């Protein structure tokens, strides 16, 4: 089903007017059942080239040609060949972009909203929980000096003073208060991370200006502002989506607020953290260490300043959500349901750009199940 650009896969039904064109621009683990559902609804399916998903992809021209006159874009993340305004404008019939993942930073949300197009994401627990667990593992690897201890043994060494680890929790016997963990972004992943931390008896604080007060209470965390979180935390863990507001929200001024022995964890999006500023802070000893699963440029360039700080940074290839057992399946199924709803003129339950719903309803809902908007559309 994969080709140099996009190849038609199946045409369902004899009524050409009823056929909807679906472009799976970034294919990943779609089951036969999901594809059959789309075909049964009268969808013609095309699949984008795997090359579009590679870090060096940048195949906007091919993507644009494949996106002409389609009704639906669906797929996983595609940051090297993102869904730009140009691609969005390739088809006046486009009504929905359905992502398999929670992140939408590879979609021009402003352009989609301007043109009355739904952008749906999939904040499922399947991959959210894996990200939280990986974050926990990275934190423990640093605080418990797992890498350093392993390296010492392999080099013929043994227990050394620098192998002493941080004790995380509160001890009643000697009054030890435990560390403070600050969570930036109390969505599904941040909340799950708080759940994992609860038995460790650490103090947990969180910053999320968009979360309801009840969410902090239910998660068992203390609500604080960002500056307070940075000043008081021994561990700062990033769990927010990438938006204009969060882009480089951790840079030199924010790093300067952190404790010199604090660590920074980022398993969200690379551009939330200014890597140059982070490398400078690590090299100067202004913070102790960092662990990054998401990077500004992926894969990490050979001249990245992060490579110059050695073991002060723990790196991971944006794999925190990988569980090896079809972790995107729930997101794919959710995306398919969203597509089927949108094709019937119904608003799905996972719209990211909710401001577009009135205009989208005006464009598509009155058309019913069998009619599509006019080719010249409302633009």
Which residues are designated catalytic? 269, 298, 318
Separation of CA 318 from chain center? 10
Q: How far apart are alpha carbons 332 and 29 in whole angstroms?
A: 8
- Rounded Cα–Cα distance for residues 35 and 131 (Å): 28
Listing DSSP states for 362-374 in one string gives: HHHGGGTTT----
Bridge partners of 20?
Answer: 43
Pairing of the two strands 6-10 and 43-48: antiparallel
- Is residue 62 classed as helix, strand or coil in its secondary structure? helix
Per the document, the length of the chain is: 379
Report how far residue 277's alpha carbon sits from residue 260's, in angstroms, rounded to the nearest whole number.
15
Cα(168)–Cα(180) distance, rounded to whole angstroms?
9
């Amino acid at each position: 089903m994969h080709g140099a650009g996009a190849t038609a896969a199946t045409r369902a039904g004899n009524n050409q007017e009823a056929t909807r064109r679906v472009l799976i621009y970034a294919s990943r683990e779609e089951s036969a059942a999901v594809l059959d559902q789309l075909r049964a609804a009268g969808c013609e399916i095309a699949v984008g080239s795997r090359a579009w998903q590679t870090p060096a992809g940048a195949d906007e021209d091919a993507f644009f040609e494949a996106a002409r006159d389609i009704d639906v874009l669906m797929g996983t993340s595609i940051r090297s060949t993102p869904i730009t305004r140009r691609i969005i404008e390739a088809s006046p019939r486009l009504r929905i972009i359905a992502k398999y993942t929670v992140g939408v930073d590879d979609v021009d949300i402003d352009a989609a909203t301007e043109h009355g197009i739904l952008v749906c994401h999939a904040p499922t627990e399947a991959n959210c929980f894996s990200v939280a667990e990986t974050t926990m593992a990275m934190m423990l690897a640093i605080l418990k000096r797992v890498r350093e201890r392993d390296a010492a043994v392999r080099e013929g060494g043994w227990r050394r003073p620098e192998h002493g680890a941080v004790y995380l929790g509160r001890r009643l016997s000697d009054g030890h208060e435990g560390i403070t963990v600050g969570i930036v972004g109390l969505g599904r992943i941040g909340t799950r991370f708080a759940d994992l931390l609860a038995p460790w008896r650490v103090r947990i604080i969180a910053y999320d200006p968009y979360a309801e007060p009840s969410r902090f209470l239910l998660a068992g965390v203390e609500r604080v502002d960002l500056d307070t979180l940075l000043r008081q935390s021994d561990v700062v863990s990033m769990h927010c989506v990438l938006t204009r507001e969060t882009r480089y929200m951790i840079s030199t001024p924010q790093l300067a607020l952190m404790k010199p022995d604090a660590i920074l964890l980022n398993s969200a999006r690379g551009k939330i953290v200014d890597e140059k500023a982070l490398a400078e802070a690590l090299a100067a000893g202004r913070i102790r260490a960092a662990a990054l699963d998401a990077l500004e440029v992926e894969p990490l360039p050979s001249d990245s300043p992060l490579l110059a700080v050695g073991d002060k940074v723990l790196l991971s290839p944006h794999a925190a959500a990988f569980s090896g057992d079809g972790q995107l399946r729930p997101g794919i199924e959710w995306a398919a349901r969203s597509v089927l709803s949108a094709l019937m003129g119904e608003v799905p339950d996972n719209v990211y750009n909710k401001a577009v719903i009135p205009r989208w309803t005006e464009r598509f809902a009155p058309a019913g199940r069998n009619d599509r908007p006019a080719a010249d559309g409302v633009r």
